Amino acid sequence: MEEDQKENNGQRRKGISRRGFIQLVGAGAIATTLGDVSKSSPVEAAEAAEKGEMVHVSLQVNGRRHRFKVESRWTLLDVLREKLGLTGPKLGCGRGECGACTVLIDGQPRYACLTLALEAEGKAILTVEGLLRDDELGPVQKAFWDNDAMQCGYCTPGQIMAAEGMLRVNPNPSLDEIRKGMSGNLCRCGSYAHIFKAVEQAAKLKQTV
């Protein structure tokens, strides 16, 4: 036994321990990473340095103008929620697939999660909060309420804004046009039949206002 232990100890001294191997691998990874950074172009390095730079932006949201500093990489959704406290637009997927963050920009439905705040400067931004008339619901909001076009409600603000944008372009859409116009907004609860009915009623309500 003692001879076997001595032999094993000798092999450990001659070879590399597990800890030593991990340290060597880690050092190699760090060296590789540093090598990649050193090879980056001046343009890439400048862009990386500018990511944290704060710039002034002026946004017109729901008829009011706001001015503040933002990072150039901040999305419109970030600014609406974190700077202005407008929590109607929701962060769902963060990559323009669900539509929970839909707002109107110059009357057109846009995904706020894919729009940089700087891109929206000089344009009219409308969120679901801006559809209220004093303390009364707007036509589309009322139609969604009347038709129970929601379950969990998370997607509802985006659905309402998509419907609002569509009805501004097409005031009297057919059912097929409604389905197509609302196809960019997902409802994970599956309330589509109620949503379509709400949009049909909203079209009628808007014509009487």
pLDDT tens-digit series, residues 37-66: 334 344 443 454 455 678 999 999 999 999
The CA distance from 100 to 167, in Å, is 18
Which residue, chain included where needed, has tokens 């103008």?
65
What domains can be seen in the chain, in order of their start residue?
Answer: 49-130 (3.10.20.30), 132-209 (1.10.150.120)
Q: What is the pTM of this model?
A: 0.75
pLDDT of residue 21: 36
Q: What percent of the chain has pLDDT over 70?
A: 75
The CA distance from 160 to 117, in Å, is 22
Q: What secondary structure does DSSP assign to 54-73, as a single string?
A: EEEEEEEETTEEEEEEEETT
